[in-house]
Structure 1
Amino acid sequence: MKFPYTLLTSGDYTLKNVRLETGFEYDDQDVVRTKTDLFCVEIVKGHIRGVTENKISANAIDAKGLLMLPSFKDMHIHLDKTLYGLPWQALSPKRNSVKYMIAYEQEIIPRLLETSIERAEQLISLLQNYGTTYARTHFNVDPTSGLTSLEHLEQALQNKENSFKAELVAFPQHGLFYTDSAPLMKEAAQLKKVGFIGGLDPYSIDGSIEKPIDFTVELALEYDKGIDIHLHEIGKSGMKTINYLIDKVMENSRLQGKTFISHAFALGHLTDRETEEIAEKLAASKIGIASSVPFRGTIMPIPLLRKYGVEVVIGNDNVQDYWSTFGTGNMLQKAHLIAELYGYETEYDLSRTLAFATQNILPLDEQGGRQWPKTGDVADMVLVEASCSAEAVSRMSSIKALMNNGKLFWKNNDSF
């Protein structure tokens, strides 16, 4: 997809007729409606200068009564190896294991790298079409591609720097020791632009839980990085890996709040009591869970994890690639799917579910007090064709404009 917006302004300016949520309306104790009103929002040097009474001003940009929401964040995606931008290709019926897919990647990566910059940009434009201005993206580190995936991804991100931001995860997709990726991972870990050290199914790929986790922890500590481990394994090996990582993080407090387990499907195959016990441990160690939605037959205990204080972040993961063809790039759709999966149907619950698209930034607090936007906030937001957050989630409402660090982009073919 080509970039679907036109840059309207990048300086200091005021938006008028901005719809903001102001509170909840109750019937007895139940929230039945979200109240909104129109305001002026002043943007100065990429931040919110103020939110004031709506006034008619010839100099202000008209937001036309559109709802302003925090811009969306995709917290688990692979921008470096999409098939998006190439002809349609469904999954191979031979795709029956991660090791098979590693061999397949070794075969096709050299050819994909020839156009990976252009296709990464197209995928970013798709995300932006749906209101996403930020992503945590993994990039392959493996003997086949070396650090070329990173180099190409960096170029794509540089080309999109006015409208998009990202944090980078060095990801040993072919295993740390299953292939000779450990030296490359150490090289990647030394780069300032890399924020996280990744990992992949230590037991099933590398034949050990301890050796890969210890190596990852050592890199993270030595170079002051976070950790984000892909863990698809279920059963004993999956839970042993989770518990071993918890122990390592508890031993090294610098990793607390900076460590994530992506997918963690083992958590979806426990008894209620077992889930509560591991949720308590994850919360105590400040290890978060990052994943996509839905979960291919596994019902993840997201409500219980959040109840115990575990940070849960969501992303698209795959968008038309050779691992999955179902990702749409739409974070509102992810929030919508979570609402469907867990029965979040009321006005209040739907409004809270928006947090999965915005990485926990919500316009209203739990009591209905306005908490966003406020003076000093970074001006990252979207204008949505919806009356409130609940409607935006339920109907996956259209994005009409997005703002990145105060730079306002308006959707092409929409008048302004």
Structure 2
Amino acid sequence: MNEKWLLNVKLETGAYTDEDNYSYTNTKLFHLKIKDGRIAEQVPCEQSIHDNLEKTDMKGLLAVPSFKEMHNHLDKTYMGLGWRSIIPVTSLQERLELEAKELKELAGSTKDRASRMIETLLSHGATHIRTHVNIDPYIGLENLEGVLSALDTYKGKVTADIIAFPQHGLLRDEVPSLMREAMRSGATMVGGLDPAGIDNSIEESLDMTMDIASEFNADVDIHLHDDGHVGWYTIDKWIDMVENTNWKGKSAISHAFCIGQIPEAKAAQLAQRLHQNQIAIMSTIPLTKTLPPIDLLDRHGVNVHLGCDGFFDSWGPFGTGDVLEKATKFCEITGKKDERSIAQSLKYITNGLTPLNEAGEQVWPRQNDKADFVFVDAESSAHMIARKIPRRAVMVDGTIVYGSIE
């Protein structure tokens, strides 16, 4: 049995709005008893602790739930290869052709490059990573093997969803058989990509995706860049398939720009169907495409998650790997400036967890919650998001796995 105390942890305890409509977050210091990686007890800091358990003074740092990086490509990064920008292209197809040329060249360094990316994400507070990994005719399962090996070195620090991703098309060559081999070799989810724009056959592509998922009883995450009505039609067909196969709660659509390109009434109808079938939306808050209507989706109960996507790779040279920046950018783009709305945006990078609910009541942490924290020198979650406060320490199961409190 592993027990310890975390002393002087700042937690958010409530919120209120004054007569001038200004929002405030209340905080207080607590001592947290950790038992077997979970919160066993929470007491006010005025209460002295006299037992012989290990004690770590967190020095008044604010604790927030650890972050979840929900859309990434560990296998694609150039990290460790020195600086390089990218070759400009005029189409997605041209970008894929250029990527294909370098896949074999980079495959041998996948473990090292992925490890550097994991370390970067962890340093920013992400203790879970959803990564897509190329499965294609050019390298087979080589990237998957490298990513699995890298993740293995971070056991106890980072958990992961590993998506077999047909980046160069599912309906070609031996890709379906390679996808099945990937699922037998350590991938945990089935990926898809633009059934119209890449596979040129929406129903056939979705059918194949569902066939593989059903065979392995696996969740699905489909990249969907296809715009407007074509994208909407693709999501609508996927929902039909989910309903017909009882795949409720086992799929997600990444990017989904199309939902922000259709009339709001139509988007609301689609959001209702997504909610009914527990289909999540994964967004990377890009500057170059229409965002899915995250606030509308949220109002209809759709789970929305953010991720950094690939950064510093053959697709683009920009980004830091800090998923907190995605929450900040989302608030900036959508005009969220008050304490409460900024703070509630934390849920998009924590799998729904926020210290306070929308009514300003404390809902996290609770007894028996996992002791997975990010510690920052901030006054509140809103302060951390708005100012992108550096992470001082990252904790998993009550143990610091990155940074320090010194």
* Common fold: TM-score over 0.5: yes
Match of residue 41 from structure 1? 32
Q: 1:310 aligns with which of 299, 302, 306?
A: 302
Give a deviation string over 1:363-396, Cα, whole Å, max 9, x none.
1122222211111111111111101111011001
1:293 is matched with which residue? 285
- 1:67–1:385 Cα contact (<8 Å) kept: yes
Question: Which of 356, 370, 390 is the matching residue for 2:362?
Answer: 370
Which residue number in structure 1 is paired with residue 208 of structure 2?
Answer: 215
For the Cα contact (< 8 Å) 1:91–1:325, is it kept in 2? yes
Distance 2:295 2:316 in 1: 25
Q: Which amino acid aligns with 1:69?
A: V
Instruction: State whether residues 317 and 327 of structure 1, in contact with CA within 8 Å, keep that contact through their aligned partners in structure 2.
Output: no
Instruction: Name the counterpart of 1:4.
Output: none
Q: Structure 1 residue 75 and structure 2 residue 70: aligned?
A: yes
1:190 positional shift: 3.4
| Residue equivalent to 1:247 | 240
2:82 aligned to which of 70, 87, 90: 87
Q: Secondary structure at the match of 1:16?
A: strand
| Contact 1:11 1:407 (C-alpha < 8 Å) held by counterparts | no
- Whether the 8 Å contact between 1:294 and 1:337 is mirrored in structure 2 is no
Paired residue type of 2:378: A
- 1:146 corresponds to: 140
Q: Deviations over 1:165-208 (max 9, x none)?
A: 111111011101234311111222334x4321101111121220
- Residue in structure 2 matched with residue 20 of structure 1 by the alignment: 11
SS at 1:319's partner residue? coil
CA contact (8 A) 2:123 2:402 kept: no
- 1:91: Cα distance to partner? 2.1
- Deviation track 1:333-381 (CA, whole Å, cap 9, x = no partner) reads 1110010011111111011011112121011122222211111111111
- For the 8 Å contact 1:227–1:259, the answer to whether it is kept is yes
Determine the C-alpha separation between the residues in 1 that align with 2:162 and 2:366.
Answer: 28
Match of 2:57 among 52, 58, 62: 62
Contact preservation (8 Å) 2:144, 2:187 = no
Residue type matched to 2:107 in 1? L
SS in 1 for 2:198: helix
The size of the alignment, in residue pairs, is: 402
How far does residue 322 in structure 1 lie from its aligned partner after superposition?
0.8
2:94 counterpart (78, 97, 100): 100
Per the alignment, in what secondary structure is the counterpart of residue 120 of structure 1?
helix
Higher relative contact order (CA 8 A, sep 6+): 1
- Structure 1 residues 230 and 297, CA gap change in structure 2 (3 angstroms): closer
Find the counterpart in structure 2 of residue 3 from structure 1.
Answer: none
- 2:16 & 2:230 partners in 1: Cα distance? 48
One-letter amino acid matched to 1:256: K
| Contact preservation (8 Å) 1:66, 1:384 | yes
- Structure 1 residues not aligned, in runs of 5+: 1-9
Distance 1:79 1:367, change over 3 A: same
Matches within 5 A, 1:1-400: 11-28=2-19, 30=21, 32-54=23-45, 55=47, 59-93=54-88, 95-191=89-185, 193-253=186-246, 255-400=247-392
Q: Distance in 1 between matches of 2:128 and 2:278?
A: 22
SS at match of 1:118: helix
SS at the partner of 1:157? helix
Return the alpha-carbon distance in structure 2 between the equivalents of residues 258 and 31 of structure 1. 40
- Change over 3 Å in CA distance of 1:410–1:227 after alignment to 2: closer
| 1:26 to partner: Cα distance | 2.6
Three-state SS of the structure 2 residue aligned to 1:387 is coil
- The one-letter amino acid of 1:36's match is T
SS of 1:204 mapped into structure 2: coil
Identical pairs, percent: 37
The CA deviation at 1:285 is 2.3
Q: Aligned equivalents of 2:62 and 2:354: distance in 1?
A: 13
Indicate conservation of the 8 Å contact 1:31/1:348, yes or no. no
Structure 2, unmatched stretches of 5+, are none
Counterpart Cα distance in 2 of 1:295 and 1:260:
22
CA RMSD of aligned residues (A): 1.8
Distance in 2 between residues matched to 1:365 and 1:29, nearest whole Å: 22
Q: Deviations over 1:234-266 (max 9, x none)?
A: 13322221111011011122x111111111111
Q: Distance in 1 between matches of 2:347 and 2:287?
A: 19
**For residue 65 of structure 2, what is the amino acid of its counterpart?**
P
- Separation of aligned partners in 2, 1:409 and 1:168: 21
1:97 is displaced (CA, Å) by 2.4
Moved over 6 A (4+): none
Q: Is the 8 A contact 1:334 1:356 kept in 2?
A: no
Aligned residue for 2:26, secondary structure, equals strand
Q: SS at the partner of 2:101?
A: helix
